[in-house]
Structure 1
Amino acid sequence: MHTVSETMITTQQLDEKVAELAGMIERDFEGEHILLIGVLKGACIFVSDLMRKINLDVSLDFMSVSSYGNSTKSSGVVKILKDLDMEIENKNVIIVEDIIDTGLTLKYLTENLMSRKPKTLKICTLLDKPQRRKCHLDVDYIGFTIEDKFIVGYGIDYAELYRNLPYIGVVDKEK
């Protein structure tokens, strides 16, 4: 069994950062309708909290993509497990991610969505691990830049566990 060895980001820090990101999105899209695309399963809590703090007309859809399986390392092979229910042509779209590390999954996802001709396509991530990046990505909204540790909580799992933690914690894989 793995244990959470430390709290990296508290519940209060998460709440404050989500409000800050919502404010940035409101300023950038003032008077516009936006479509948030939550990337399942990890971004489910983040996108829900973010959506409630944005004072604009907001629609919500989800995609599920996989490049991990039950492993802790990206396989580099991306599969769409659940596609969008809505058309995105001529819409202001924001992809909402839990964490960006290698960037390979998100690069694939942005290229796929750009082919559907949105009016705008932005990326919002709660967590960013730039030292693990394997490709260039322009990320528009970043919550926290973190060091390369394996983290869980606030929707992020380890083998489908720990998503329910109200904070971001570090998993000690040695215990």
Structure 2
Amino acid sequence: MRLNDFLTRELDGRGVVDNKRDVLPEEFFKDPTKYIRDKGALNEIQASGRYLSMKRAVKGEVIFDEDIRKLCDKGVNSLPGWSLAAAEVKAAVHNSNKHFLNAAAEEVRNPTTTSAPEKLEGLYESVHNARRSHAVELPDGVERKKTGTGMGVHEGKPEQSWKYREADDAIEENDAVQQFGVEHLPC
């Protein structure tokens, strides 16, 4: 996200800069006065909660990127590599990232989550145990009188109730009613 995107989306366009000064947020937060010269607009922007939230998020990303770069320079590019890294390599990483990496490495060593299937309960169970069925018209007789609707439910897939015919290079339904609907008037 670029500076103008942030200002437009989060701050209703206050302080939008010309395209030559539209930069990534990390550049903007290094020196905001370089990009927004109107002191009143800058003060209003800096007082907003959204600005402060974005500043914290960008700072966290910058620190994370620095730590990744340091670790890669030392040859640490995986969780097992982190587990085996020397103490001085780990000491160079910021505490928040260090705690995250330690927790992730511990989870790999001793998983606390299970992958066993869980029994679904309640409404979801009906979806889980669903069977295919379809409605059919019942013939005249006792069954039709029992339902009162003339319809019944049968399990399984329905029989194919329509026929196809070849038409040039395509296959189409052989049903005049569905092939030729009501004509529409031109608008």
Q: State the TM-score, normalizing by the size of structure 2.
A: 0.18
Quick check: which one's strand share is greater? 1
When normalised by structure 1's length, the TM-score is: 0.19
User: Per chain length, whose mean CA-contact separation is higher, i.e. which structure has more relative contact order (CA < 8 Å, sep 6+)?
Assistant: 1
Larger radius of gyration: 2
